[in-house]
Amino acid sequence: MQSEQKDIRFIIERQDGPDQAAYTEEFTVPYRPNMNVISALMEIRRNPVNANGDKTTPINWDMNCLEEVCGACSMIINGKPRQSCTALVDKLEQPIRLAPMKTFPVIRDLQVDRQRMFDALKKVKAWVPIDGTYDLGPGPRMPENKRQWAYELSKCMTCGVCLEACPNVNDKSSFIGPAAISQVRLFNSHPTGAFHAEDRLEALMEDGGLAQCGNAQNCVEVCPKGIPLTTSIAAMNRQTTLHSFKSFFGSDKGRTGSAVEA
């Protein structure tokens, strides 16, 4: 049993900088009950000595909330993209292999630059714009059935795991990925956000948008929050198709501000 082992073995893919070659280094960490991957990495940081007894540099990785909310600690753990804060050592096969996500540029070791994902959210205007900082009041109420599925979409923590699992997100593609598409559905359903629904739909119709989704459905399998990403992609496919027909036949007479149904 895992709990009977005195040491936990880690094989970690490291990289000294963005332009440096990757290499692996092995570490052993004393076992503690209920240890997660982050706890093990913190132990290595306190005493950066590898399995051969050689002094080495501390390992770089990102973390913040430590409760699967911020999405910062994403990495490849035993071949699968996931959050390291919720990856319990007792449930992982040894040796535990850690590597940075390959979809994003490596900064150092397990730390990656997720700017690509944030740029995609900017492209689709994944926010509700308001003019000024004054109180606009409570605004229109969302129907309860819409509020429930909108809440599920709002759980996205921009961890990047869905982009890592998607075969269409790579350095040869401009595909914005499933997270941004799902956020279009979320903000287009908002009573105020719907005023800019057409702008978001048009962004999805540009290069790097919905047309580059290959429907692999890997995204929904790996999402740590269980967000129905493929359902959102299908809904946005319908909406962009409808929007393109309206635009083509000249029936799109301006922005009405009505919420887009998905």
| Span 23-65, pLDDT tens digits | 999 999 999 999 999 999 999 999 999 999 999 999 999 999 9
Look at 83-87, 88-92, 178-182, 247-251 and tell me which has the smallest mean pLDDT. 247-251
Whole-number pLDDT of residue 258: 44
Pick the residue with more confidence: 172 or 130? 172
Q: What is the location of CATH 1.10.1060.10 in the chain?
A: 115-248
Lookup: tokens for 87: 């990856």
Pick the residue with more confidence: 14 or 260? 14
**149 Cβ contact list (under 8 Å, min separation 6):** 228
- Percent residues over pLDDT 90 in the chain: 80
User: pLDDT tens digits for 242-258?
Assistant: 999 888 787 544 444 44
Average pLDDT over residues 232-239: 96
Fold of the CATH domain 2-112: Ubiquitin-like (UB roll) (3.10.20)
- Say how far apart CA 185 and CA 126 lie, in whole Å: 9
Whole-number pLDDT of residue 143: 85
Lookup: tokens for 106: 């490596």
Whole-number pLDDT of residue 254: 45
User: pLDDT tens digits for 199-233?
Assistant: 999 999 999 999 999 999 999 999 999 999 999 99
Buried b (16+ CB within 10 A) or exposed e, 219-254: bbebbbbebbbbbbbebbbebbeebeeeeeeeeeee
Q: Do the beta carbons of residue 37 and residue 62 sit within 8 Å?
A: no
Whether the per-residue pLDDT at 239 is higher than 60: the answer is yes
Whether the per-residue pLDDT at 259 is higher than 70: the answer is no
Whether the per-residue pLDDT at 138 is higher than 70: the answer is no
HSE-up of residue 128 (Cα within 13 Å, Cβ side): 16
Q: What is the location of CATH 3.10.20.30 in the chain?
A: 2-112
What is the DSSP-derived secondary structure letter of residue 255?
Answer: -
- Say how far apart CA 184 and CA 188 lie, in whole Å: 6
Helices (H) and strands (E) in the chain, counts: 8, 7
Provide CATH code, domain 115-248: 1.10.1060.10
- Percent residues over pLDDT 70 in the chain: 90
Whole-number pLDDT of residue 253: 47
Whole-number pLDDT of residue 1: 42
Whether the per-residue pLDDT at 241 is higher than 70: the answer is yes
Positive or negative torsion for Cα 239, 116, 61, 70: negative
Q: What is the mean pLDDT of the chain?
A: 90
Degrees (nearest 5) of the Cα angle 67, 69, 73? 75
